[in-house]
Amino acid sequence: MTSNDLTIATAHLTVQADQAKPISPDLFGIFFEDINYAADGGLYADLIQNRSFEYTAVDNFDWNFFTAWELVTEKGKCSIALGTEAPIHRNNPRYLIVNIDSGEVGLRNFGYDGIAIKAGESYDLTLFARVLSGNVGGLKVQLESHTGEVLAEATLTTPGGEWTKLTTTLQPSATDSHARFVLYASGAGALAVDMISLFPQATFRSRPNGLRADLAQVIADLKPRFIRFPGGCLAHGDGLDNMYRWKDTIGPIETRHSQPNIWNYHQSVGLGYFEYFQYCEDIGAKPVPVVPAGTCCPNSGMKFTGRLEENQQGLPMDEMGEYVQEVLDLIEWANGPATSTWGAKRAEAGHPEPFGLEYLAIGNEDQISPLFVERFKMIYDAVKAKHSEIILIGTTGPRPEGEDYEKGWQLAHEMHMDMVDEHGYRPPEWYWDNLYRFDSYDRNASKVYLGEYAAHDLGRANTLRSALAEAAYMTSLERNGDIVLLSSYAPLLGKHKRMQWQPNMIYFTNTSIRLSTNYYAQQLFGANTGDVYLPVTLDVEGMDEVAAASCVRDSATGDVILKLVSRADAPLPVTIDLASVGAVAGEAACTVLTGEALAENNHWRPQTVLPQSATLAVGAVFTYEMPAHSLSVIRLKTTV
Ligand code: AHR
């Protein structure tokens, strides 16, 4: 029988509070990866693209050092060249040389599909410059509208022959979603420039080098208990030279080592480890960094060949000792005292207190080959020996079954690993068919992190049907919250017209944000977590596959929270028996996400499916009508 056959049915749900069990308080978190311009051009608030002239054809076949820039030569003559001698820092090897022949010339930046600015807000400009030869002067910066009207202007002091950091603040007189930035200079001589950066002062929590406030806020609104970062495929990278090395991503931004992004663009690493940890702290989420297991992404090289082929490589064994130390140093950087070598670098960045790292993931979707196992064990054993307090997370490949899954789990069993990361992107039906997947997992074996999952519907659309499949699955994660300790939907962010992957949870342009049905399902779970699971039995007149339910208690508030998911095409009345829970207050808060099964919050109709809240009369036993295609969250106050 399918959900379409269901017209009139009734359901009975009984909560068995006497069989309560503790579950992970960290169950629902998020996974952030710089895919789909999630970081540069997205969450990372810098408005200048290619700020340090490091773009090359390795990032993207069509790119070069001057991508996103153009010359302004109406009032002067000049040529440009790429400079590499005596850069600001060895990690930032390239800069731009402007050879000015005469008059006033400019460098115009278009940002990421335009620079979105707001009238009256303040934007901090920083750049590095030095005069290489001749007489150069007249340095000034402007924000101009998309039609060329000057909206803000400031003059800068002309530097000498050494790299000098120049700063100013610009306040545009008008709002423009497609503004441009221009740096002007005049005279006759050579000027070197680098790290041209423009930040709104109104970043999330007003952090310098901070995050785009509106995006950071909608992510915070998910109330994630943790953030997994920086990837995904990006973490282990496109070949060994492209592995994400955390040490390259801390310190002053002009000293960081930006590099190609496996997703066919560039990663400035301005959003680096310090910013990730700080954001976690700002929103009350635990950091879950992913370090490569000394191996690169098995899909390495794909962006050039277009072919998915196994291309796993491992660091040479004589480099592994140093690499293992790099991982140990990360723990010292995060948790060590400010007097320790790496703790001092955290303190220097403005955070003397330890960050309190609890989890560390080693590897992502790696092929579980001898090459991987040898390197993984070196890292795992060294970290365990020195930091038994850190919960280490292994990997079981890209799919929820198959060779890497089997081998990954076998390795987990052999090594008595703390936890392993499972991934799976499957059609909605798969999630309904697998609601009992984790119920049969060995309670005494390694714990599970469901690190990446999403229901992929037809056309990879963010349908309500996909969100409900995920919600049903999340009820099963709560039921298995004694062994599934963490979970995260993937990917998190997708920039309109700049995506390499769909579906995503949150879509955005430079000025707007669109929240998918999947976002609201995740948010309802994130905002209604519990630390105790109260088992439920759900009987839908022999058609259990059309509905799913879970019940948790939040010890902090004493609230009991029911989650009910129905994919039936008609309303489904359910008799809810809470007698075992104790005295229940007469009213509960009820939030419902419902609509047509194929409804989406798409670009044209971004608010088709929104959660609606109401008050519900409840008692020890009461009847609730689950709307067709719905997720309902009923939050009850108990009086015992
Ligand atoms: O979430 C997108 C990608 O999917 C991740 O980078 C990778 O781990 C997985 O294959």
Query: Which pLDDT score is estimated for 1?
Result: 38
Q: Quickly tell me which residue has 């408005």 as its tokens.
A: 47
> Is any ligand 1 atom within 6 A of the Cβ of residue 232?
yes
Per-residue pLDDT of 435-448, as tens digits, reads 999 999 999 999 99
Alpha-carbon distance of 378 to 373, in angstroms, equals: 9
Weakest-pLDDT range from 252-261, 373-382, 521-530, 580-589: 580-589
Q: Pocket of ligand 1, candidates 263, 312, 364, 499: which has the most ligand atoms within 8 Å of its Cβ, to mutate? A: 364
* Proportion of the chain above pLDDT 90, given as a percent: 94
CA of 439 to the centre of ligand 1 (A): 26
Just give the CATH number of 3-22+532-639: 2.60.40.1180
Q: Do 514 and 601 meet the contact criterion of CB atoms below 8 Å apart?
A: yes
Can you tell me which atom of ligand 1 is nearest the CA of 490? 1
One DSSP character per residue, 49-99 reads: SSTTS---TTT-TT--TTTTEEEEEEEEEEEEEEE-SS-SBTTB--EEEEE
CB within 8 Å of 318: residues ≥ 6 apart:
none
Output the residue whose Cα is nearest ligand 1's atom 6.
232
Q: Mean pLDDT across the stretch 608-618?
A: 97
Whether the full predicted model's pTM is greater than 0.85, yes or no, is yes
Can you tell me which atom of ligand 1 is nearest the CA of 263? 6
Q: Which of 409, 393, 411 is nearest to 401 (CA)?
A: 409
Q: Pocket of ligand 1, candidates 264, 423, 460: which has the most ligand atoms within 8 Å of its Cβ, to mutate? A: 423
> Is any ligand 1 atom within 6 A of the Cβ of residue 501?
yes
R_g of the chain computed on alpha carbons: 27
CA of 231 to the centre of ligand 1 (A): 7
Q: Mean pLDDT across the stretch 211-236?
A: 98
> Is any ligand 1 atom within 6 A of the Cβ of residue 215?
no
Q: Do 618 and 587 meet the contact criterion of CB atoms below 8 Å apart?
A: yes
Where in 230-332 does DSSP place strands (E)?
A: 259-261, 265-267, 286-291
- Look at residue 26 and tell me whether its pLDDT is greater than 90: yes
> Is any ligand 1 atom within 6 A of the Cβ of residue 39?
no
Q: Mean pLDDT across the stretch 185-195?
A: 98
CA of 302 to the centre of ligand 1 (A): 14
Q: Do 173 and 71 meet the contact criterion of CB atoms below 8 Å apart?
A: no
Query: Which pLDDT score is estimated for 3?
Result: 45
pLDDT higher for 5 or 564? Answer: 564
Q: Pocket of ligand 1, candidates 31, 233, 506: which has the most ligand atoms within 8 Å of its Cβ, to mutate? A: 233
CA of 372 to the centre of ligand 1 (A): 18
In the 8-state DSSP scheme, what is residue 157?
P
> Is any ligand 1 atom within 6 A of the Cβ of residue 38?
no
Can you tell me which atom of ligand 1 is nearest the CA of 398? 10
Can you tell me which atom of ligand 1 is nearest the CA of 491? 1
> Is any ligand 1 atom within 6 A of the Cβ of residue 397?
no
Specify the pairing of strand 513-515 against strand 506-508: antiparallel
CB within 8 Å of 336: residues ≥ 6 apart:
342, 343, 346, 354
CA of 110 to the centre of ligand 1 (A): 29
Q: Pocket of ligand 1, candidates 303, 452, 456: which has the most ligand atoms within 8 Å of its Cβ, to mutate? A: 452
- Look at residue 380 and tell me whether its pLDDT is greater than 70: yes
* Proportion of the chain above pLDDT 70, given as a percent: 98
- Look at residue 582 and tell me whether its pLDDT is greater than 90: no
> Is any ligand 1 atom within 6 A of the Cβ of residue 30?
no
Domain ranges (residues) in the chain: 3-22+532-639, 30-44+203-526, 69-200
Query: Which pLDDT score is estimated for 10?
Result: 85
What's the topology of domain 69-200?
Jelly Rolls (2.60.120)
Rounded to the nearest 5 percent, the helix, strand and coil shares of the chain are: 25, 35, 40
Query: Which pLDDT score is estimated for 4?
Result: 47
- Look at residue 35 and tell me whether its pLDDT is greater than 90: yes
Per-residue pLDDT of 319-338, as tens digits, reads 999 999 999 999 999 999 99
Output the residue whose Cα is nearest ligand 1's atom 4.
232
Average pLDDT score, the chain = 96
Considering the segment(s) 30-44+203-526 as one domain, its CATH architecture is Alpha-Beta Barrel (3.20)
CA of 292 to the centre of ligand 1 (A): 14
Output the residue whose Cα is nearest ligand 1's atom 7.
232
Query: Which pLDDT score is estimated for 581?
Result: 94
- Look at residue 500 and tell me whether its pLDDT is greater than 60: yes
Output the residue whose Cα is nearest ligand 1's atom 9.
232
> Is any ligand 1 atom within 6 A of the Cβ of residue 35?
yes
Weakest-pLDDT range from 286-295, 296-305, 417-426: 296-305
Residues with a known catalytic role: 365
Helices (H), 387-516: 403-415, 428-433, 464-479
The pLDDT confidence band at residue 640, using thresholds 50, 70 and 90, is low
Query: Which pLDDT score is estimated for 2?
Result: 44
Query: Which pLDDT score is estimated for 307?
Result: 66
- Look at residue 288 and tell me whether its pLDDT is greater than 80: yes
Can you tell me which atom of ligand 1 is nearest the CA of 299? 10
> Is any ligand 1 atom within 6 A of the Cβ of residue 231?
yes
- Look at residue 86 and tell me whether its pLDDT is greater than 90: yes
pLDDT higher for 543 or 584? Answer: 584
CA of 185 to the centre of ligand 1 (A): 44
Can you tell me which atom of ligand 1 is nearest the CA of 501? 2
Q: Mean pLDDT across the stretch 204-214?
A: 98
Can you tell me which atom of ligand 1 is nearest the CA of 231? 6
CB within 8 Å of 105: residues ≥ 6 apart:
71, 72, 73, 75, 76, 77, 78, 98, 184, 185, 186
Query: Which pLDDT score is estimated for 6?
Result: 47
Q: Do 494 and 34 meet the contact criterion of CB atoms below 8 Å apart?
A: no
Per-residue pLDDT of 120-153, as tens digits, reads 999 999 999 999 999 999 999 999 999 999 999 9
